[in-house]
Structure formats: C-alpha cells, structure tokens
Amino acid sequence: MADIFKCPQRSVPIYFVASYCGTDRDCISNRRLDGAGFTNILCNALAWNQLHPTRFVEIFTEDRSRRVAKVTQRWASAARVAACGGLLAPQRAPGGQAGPDPFTIDIPGLQDIIKVKDWESKDLRRERYERFKSARSAVPQSLQWIPPLLTKLDNAQDMLFTGLALAIPLIKRLPARLIPGIGLLLTINDIINLFT
C-alpha cells in the first residue's frame, strides 16, 4: 500500500531546562538542553521537585529567549501525576521513609568504654573497703585542726552574707545612727572572706 499523503517529519522541540535547588542543601542545580518532549520534561521536573518543597524547574525555548514554564511542587495535580504513568512516587509524610522497624541509637555506658575485669567481684569490694577504712589524711596530725576551722569560718561567712543580703530592705529603713554597726559587719565579712 502506497502512502497517499507525504507528511513532513515533525521534529521534537528542544527545550532548555534549568533546575534550581531552592533551600535544599542536598542537591546540585543543573542546566541542560532536552529534546525529549514537553510531557517527559514536565514529568521529570515534577519527580525532581517532589524530593524537596523549595525546588523548582524552569523550561525555556531552545534559544532561551522565552520561558515556557516554571514547574514547582504545586504543579503536581492528580491529572498531571496520572499522565506521567507511575513516574512519580506517592507523597509520604515527613519521616515516612523509615521502615516498619525504626532504628535506635545506643549510647555506650562507662563500663562499655573502660573495661575492668571483675568490676563487682567480692575480692575487689573487700579491697576497696579495707582501703577506705585505713585511709589517712595527707595533712599532718599537728595541723588537722585547720580544715574544720576553715569550714566553720566559711559557714559563718555564708550565713553573714546571706543575712546581709536579705536585710537590705530593713537596712534602708534604719536610722543613720545604726549605720556604723552595719559597716562593722561588712568589715568582718571581708576579713572572713580573706581567710577562706
């Protein structure tokens, strides 16, 4: 059978495609010429935009003189997705990529990092008890009265400082003749502070 009409061959129009990442840090923008047809370019653009909501694709004429379309994620209507024939995956909720058994992160404990043989053995506990029982202070016997004295001075200074801080509203209402007594207390507080 012979051809009745000689139809001219139609060439597929070539488009210049520019894809942009928006705020997505995990992708690389791309610019290329594509002669696969507008529907195929649109389906690929929708699939690429589906990975992050701020991605978009601009489609220009071959000479880049006119923009044909700017494809964003909002272009993914039900009719366009159906026309792409399963190229687009169904949208998943954030975090929906995980499988049925989500992974867990186990942080190692101290005994996982530092290995001590028989950490809670009876012999080791007995040795620890004997060491604590026979522990001696590094301070010589003749000077062992100093740490308790410093503790008592520190406690007295803490009490005096707290009392003075709480008494500020009361001090503001005192008559002027009692102010020297408060000055003496502050001087005592400073002297105790020098020793502790």
Q: What confidence category does residue 81 fall into, taking pLDDT thresholds of 50, 70 and 90?
A: confident
Q: What confidence category does residue 157 fall into, taking pLDDT thresholds of 50, 70 and 90?
A: confident
The yes-or-no verdict on residue 90 having pLDDT over 60 is no
Is residue 166 situated within a structural domain? yes
Is residue 168 situated within a structural domain? yes
Of 37, 63, 83, at which residue does a domain stop?
Answer: 83
- pLDDT (average), residues 18-23: 82
Higher local confidence (pLDDT), 59 or 179: 59
The yes-or-no verdict on residue 92 having pLDDT over 60 is no
Is residue 108 situated within a structural domain? no
- CB-CB contact of 43 with 79 (8 Å): no
The yes-or-no verdict on residue 36 having pLDDT over 60 is yes
Is residue 60 situated within a structural domain? yes
The yes-or-no verdict on residue 87 having pLDDT over 70 is no
Helix H or strand E encompassing 89 = none
**36 vs 51, 83, 97, 150, 163, CA distance in Å?**
22, 16, 31, 88, 85
The yes-or-no verdict on residue 3 having pLDDT over 70 is no
For the chain, the straight-line distance linking the first and the last C-alpha, in angstroms and rounded, comes to 115
Is residue 19 situated within a structural domain? yes
What is the reported pLDDT for 1? 41
Is residue 151 situated within a structural domain? yes
Question: DSSP letter string over 108-140?
Answer: P-HHHHS--TTTT-HHHHHHHHHHHHT---SS-
Spatial CB neighbours of 42, under 8 Å, sequence gap ≥ 6? 59, 69, 71, 75, 80, 84
- pLDDT (average), residues 134-149: 83
Is residue 41 situated within a structural domain? yes
What is the reported pLDDT for 17? 86
- pLDDT (average), residues 64-70: 85
Q: Which of 30-34, 69-73, 85-89, 189-193 has the lowest mean pLDDT?
A: 85-89
Higher local confidence (pLDDT), 98 or 42: 42
Of 62, 83, 104, at which residue does a domain stop?
Answer: 83
Of 83, 106, 121, at which residue does a domain stop?
Answer: 83
Boundaries of domain holding 30: 15-83
Instruction: Tell me how many domains the chain contains.
Output: 2
What is the reported pLDDT for 31? 83
Is residue 43 situated within a structural domain? yes
